[in-house]
Amino acid sequence: MTLAPDRPGRFGLRDRLGRRSADGSTPAAVYGAVRPVIVFRDVEMTYPGGKVALRDVDLTIREGEFVFLVGPSGAGKSTLLRLLIRDEVATNGQVLVDGVDLARLRRREVPRVRRRIGTIFQDFKLLPSRPVWDNVAFALEVTGAPRKTIAPAVDRVLALVGLTAQARQQPAQLSGGEQQRTAIARALVHDPRLIIADEPTGNLDPLISWEIIQLLLRINELGVTVIMATHDAEVVTALRRRVVALEDGRVVRDELGAAYHRED
């Protein structure tokens, strides 16, 4: 199966890069000038109990990038993503999101940072007893968004993910792909600059997976940085984006326009 990525400009209302070449990569000169969204400096993560999940991780991800995070099970992909939403704190080194050192963040400042990051997981994490619309609105309600702004924002993101017609259905009545699109809508409702997806297609069959990837690419075209952990070799290889490979907690490969497996 092949897939032509959406061209910049088609949805690129807020594309900060604007000057991408046709293959989706960015000329080096332009790339260097773009603001880093995520910076890992010499990061080590040891879980309580002694398991070292990440070591010597140095990584910079710039605004507007679409990055695949690959590697065998247990390599540390989820750990790396958890550090970004400060679900865990690095035992050593620095993790910066939008220039903010997450280790230095005070407890009460954490929610504000999380609101700027949309998160998507393999298991969707939807509230089962509430309809699609309420699931998306939930993210705004529990963060104290002004009541009047909620309905327009929810309608807008539901339209973006193509779920306007399903707004009143319960998650159990939806297909896996639709449930994941609901989760994506919820991730988008705070208008984040960064989307973190941990195996978002892990529970979906290939055709539906492509649907979800298409959607994420489209969101990326809107200027949102996307970092996605995946085991889906076909998708990664077909899209030729930046690939960061982890093995046993180390970054063993970081290539632009790369395939799932090493190609030399």
Partner 1 sequence: MIPFVAFSLKRAWQGFWRNSLMSLAATATMIFMLLLLSGFWIVQSGLTAGLQYVEQKVQVVAYMQETATQPQVDAALAQVNAMPDVKSAEYVSKDEALVRFRESLAARNQPDLTGSLDSNPLPASIEVYLVNPSQFASVVAVLQAAPGVDRVENIQQLVERVTTVTTVIRTAGIVILILVGFTVFFIIVNTIRLAVTSRAEEIEIMRLVGASDAFIRWPFIFEGALVGLLGAIVTLGILALIAAPLSSLMMGFFSVLPLEFGSLVRDVAVLVLGTGLGLGVVGSYVSVRSYLIR
Ligand X SMILES: Nc1ncnc2c1ncn2[C@@H]1O[C@H](COP(=O)(O)OP(=O)(O)OP(=O)(O)O)[C@@H](O)[C@H]1O
Degrees (nearest 5) of the Cα angle 126, 113, 146? Answer: 70
Nearer CB in complex with partner 1: 11/138:
138
Q: Which of 55, 190, 193, 242 binds partner 1 (CB under 8 A)?
A: 190
In the structure encoding, which two tokens stand for residue 27, read together?
Answer: 């000329």
In the bound complex, what is the minimum distance in angstroms from residue 65's beta carbon to ligand X? 20
Pairing of strands 194-198, 36-46: unpaired
**Quick check: 78 binds Mg ion (CB under 5 A)?**
yes
Nearer CB in complex with partner 1: 104/106:
106
Alpha-carbon dihedral sign for residues 54, 219, 243, 125: positive
**Quick check: 166 binds Mg ion (CB under 5 A)?**
no
Nearer CB in complex with partner 1: 112/168:
112
User: 214 contacts which partner out of partner 1, ligand X, Mg ion, none, CB within 5 to 8 A by kind?
Assistant: none
**Quick check: 107 binds partner 1 (CB under 8 A)?**
yes
In the bound complex, what is the minimum distance in angstroms from residue 207's beta carbon to partner 1? 28
Residue 5 DSSP class = P
Binding site for ligand X (CB under 6 A): 47, 49, 51, 53, 71, 73-79
Pairing of strands 194-198, 117-121: parallel
**In 10 A of CB 47, how many CB atoms?**
12
* Phi, psi of 257, deg, nearest 5: 55, 40
Q: What are the residue ranges of helices labelled H in 88-175?
A: 110-115, 132-141, 147-161
Q: Which of 3, 127, 151, 233 binds partner 1 (CB under 8 A)?
A: 127
Nearer CB in complex with Mg ion: 78/180:
78
**Quick check: 231 binds partner 1 (CB under 8 A)?**
no
In the bound complex, what is the minimum distance in angstroms from residue 121's beta carbon to partner 1? 8
Q: Which helix H or strand E contains 257, and what residues bound it?
A: none
